[in-house]
Amino acid sequence: MARILVVEDDPDVRLAVEHVLLDGGHAVEALVTVADGRRRLEAKDYDLLLADGRLADGTGMELADQAAERGIPALIITGYAFILRELAGDPTKYRVLLKPMRPKELLYAVEQALADHAPS
C-alpha cells in the first residue's frame, strides 16, 4: 500500500481520483491548494505525489519539484497538456497523465511511477 498525496482543486476529480486510489489499495490524503500541499510535503512522508497541473494558487509542477527534493516521485494530471511548456518550461521533466482518464489508466500510471522509483 502506497501513501499518496493528491492535490486537486476540482472536487469531482479529486473525489474520483481518491476513490480509484483507495479501491486500488492505497492510502490517500487529498488537498485542494499548493499551499496546503507544500505544508503536507514538509510535515509527512509520502510514496507519491499526484497533483493537478493548474491549481488556483500555483501549479502541480511546483509541488512536484518540492517532492523531488525529498525523493518523492510525482505524477501530474492535467487537461491542459498544450500549455505545459508555458507552465513548466521543460514538459519532459514531469510524468504527466491527461484528463479525462479512466480508472485503469490512473492506477497503471501510479503503479509505473511507484515502480520506477522503487529501490533496485
Closest CA to 21 of 94, 101, 85: 101
Mean pLDDT of 75-104: 76
Categorize the per-residue pLDDT at 85 as very low, low, confident or very high, splitting at 50, 70 and 90: low
Q: Where are the domains of the chain?
A: 3-117
pLDDT at position 86 is 58
* Coil/strand/helix, residue 38: helix
Categorize the per-residue pLDDT at 76 as very low, low, confident or very high, splitting at 50, 70 and 90: very high
Residues 94, 100: Cα–Cα separation, whole Å: 18
Cis peptide, bond prior to residue 73, ω within 30 of zero:
no
pLDDT at position 80 is 72
Q: In this structure, what are the phi and psi dihedrals at residue 29, rounded to the nearest 5 degrees?
A: -120, 125
Helix (H) or strand (E) holding 45: none
Look at the pTM and tell me if it is higher than 0.85. Answer: yes
Give yes or no for a contact between 32 and 14, defined as CB atoms under 8 angstroms apart: yes
Residue 79, C-alpha cell as written in the block: 487537461
b/e burial code for range 49-73 (CB count within 10 A of at least 16 → b): bbbbbbbeebbbbbbbebbeeeebb
Of 4-8, 9-13, 38-42, 84-88, the poorest mean pLDDT is in 84-88
Q: What is the pLDDT of residues 27-53, one digit of tens each?
A: 999 999 999 999 999 999 999 999 998
Strand 54-55 relative to strand 58-59: parallel, antiparallel, unpaired? Answer: antiparallel
- First CA to last CA across the chain, in angstroms? 18
Superfamily holding 3-117: Response regulator (3.40.50.2300)
Please give the residue that has the higher pLDDT: either 90 or 35. 35
Mean pLDDT of 62-74: 95
Q: Does residue 87 carry a pLDDT above 70?
A: no
